[in-house]
Amino acid sequence: MGPRSVRVQLGERSYTAHVGQGVLSTIADEIRQRLGKQPTRAFIVHDTGVPLAFLDELTASLRGVELDTSSISITPTERDKSIATLERVLGAMGASGHTRADPVVTLGGGIVGDLGGFAAASYQRGVPVVQCPTTLLSMVDASVGGKTGVNLSVGGDDPDARLLKNFVGAFHQPIAVAADTRMLATLPERHRRSGLAECIKHAMIAGGITGADLISETRAALPAVIAGDTDASARLIERSVALKGEVVSRDERETISGSGGVRMLLNLGHTFGHAIETIPGLTPDPSDSSLAPLHHGEAVALGLAAACRCAESLELCEPGVGDEVTGIIRDAGLPTVVAGLPDSEAILARMGSDKKASGGTLRLVLPDGRGRCRVVTDADRGAVVAGIDAIRA
């Protein structure tokens, strides 16, 4: 099956997300088509977890269209997704002679894509960026939509300093996306499963946006995707990217009110998930402490389960919605409960400092039916606690 393409419609800033085997090798030609003859070089922000063969392939293709290359390698951890690392990237760009005409190309998972994208948004007030995601999670979510950023550490050098997820950033749309499914074969199974959490999230909101039953489609695709079937993965990625592209085209900058506002729905599960993701020692398997910390997708999966139970407590949706979602999460091999959570007050405090809170008011995205969600402002505290307690092992 050949590569698939999804168009993200944003007027003059529209771009194409290419999905399939081998699309990494064709992205250099698209850069030339989009930017013309003016660029003379490209700066690659490379994930240390990506095999060097893919970096070599990308470098060779860029040089093949007469773009000199420089690169920097980034360790993809939440602690390294920082202002200090951003400064290191920007310094390397400046040292390379990068100009406003030259593109940044990210090659990695969501952390590297977010960080490299923010460097592109910041350098000389903005240079082009091309996203080449290498994990399932970044292919279906982080690479599309233009959200870039880094975490903010609160507490200085204290080892218990809190990380505020993605608190510093900018909207900066890519000029192209290349999701090469060959990368998926290089991922550990845990990483592939983590990416499925964002696919499940998209399925939970799709019915209210496009009318598509992505819940049934996603559940049916899970066995083949987990087994590493690249065609099944490409189809699932295409559906998720198309859904996200539709949301972004309607509401690029996540308005809170008005007739748009749909992009906020993409935060489903994230306010709960971000509150627990950086808690030290949490693991998807209580019997194996070596699996700590939680991966982003695992935290999102727990957040989705918590959101469902919170919605049921508020009587926004019938209990069957949560049962189906938790069943899909289990089918994906993702956790629906976690051991070692602190008390509910501590988690509520973390949720209150999430960047999705506004003026001290907590905003949650909660399901109000199968495949439909809505934003709920200042949900009853007891219902939120019920959501938290539902994911305690």
Positions marked active-site: 125, 147, 198, 244, 254, 263, 267, 270, 274, 296
Residue 279 to residues 163, 225, 329, 386, Cα–Cα distance (Å): 9, 29, 21, 19
369 close to 203: Cβ distance less than 8 angstroms: no
Q: What share of the chain is helix, strand, coil (3-state, %, to 5)?
A: 50, 20, 30
As a whole number of angstroms, the distance between CA 262 and CA 252 comes to 9
45 close to 107: Cβ distance less than 8 angstroms: yes
Bridge pairing between strands 15-20 and 176-180: parallel
HEC string of 75-123 equals: CCCCCCCCHHHHHHHHHHHHHHCCCCCCCEEEEECHHHHHHHHHHHHHH
Query: If you compute the radius of gyration of the chain from its CA atoms, what whole number of angstroms results?
Result: 20
Residue that has been written with the tokens 């310094």 in this structure: 91
Q: Looking at the chain, which runs of residues are DSSP E strands? A: 4-8, 15-20, 41-47, 68-74, 104-108, 129-133, 147-154, 162-171, 176-180, 363-369, 372-377
Dmax over Cα atoms in the chain, in whole Å? 61
Residue type, 366: L
Residue that has been written with the tokens 């082009």 in this structure: 128
Query: What count of Cα atoms within 13 Å lies in the side-chain half-sphere of residue 123?
Result: 29
Q: Which residues have a Cβ under 8 Å from the Cβ of 247 and sit 6 or more positions away? A: 145, 205, 209, 262, 263, 265, 266
Residue type, 259: S
140 close to 192: Cβ distance less than 8 angstroms: no
175 close to 35: Cβ distance less than 8 angstroms: yes
Helix (H) or strand (E) segment spanning residue 329 = helix 319-331
294 close to 277: Cβ distance less than 8 angstroms: yes
Residue type, 225: V
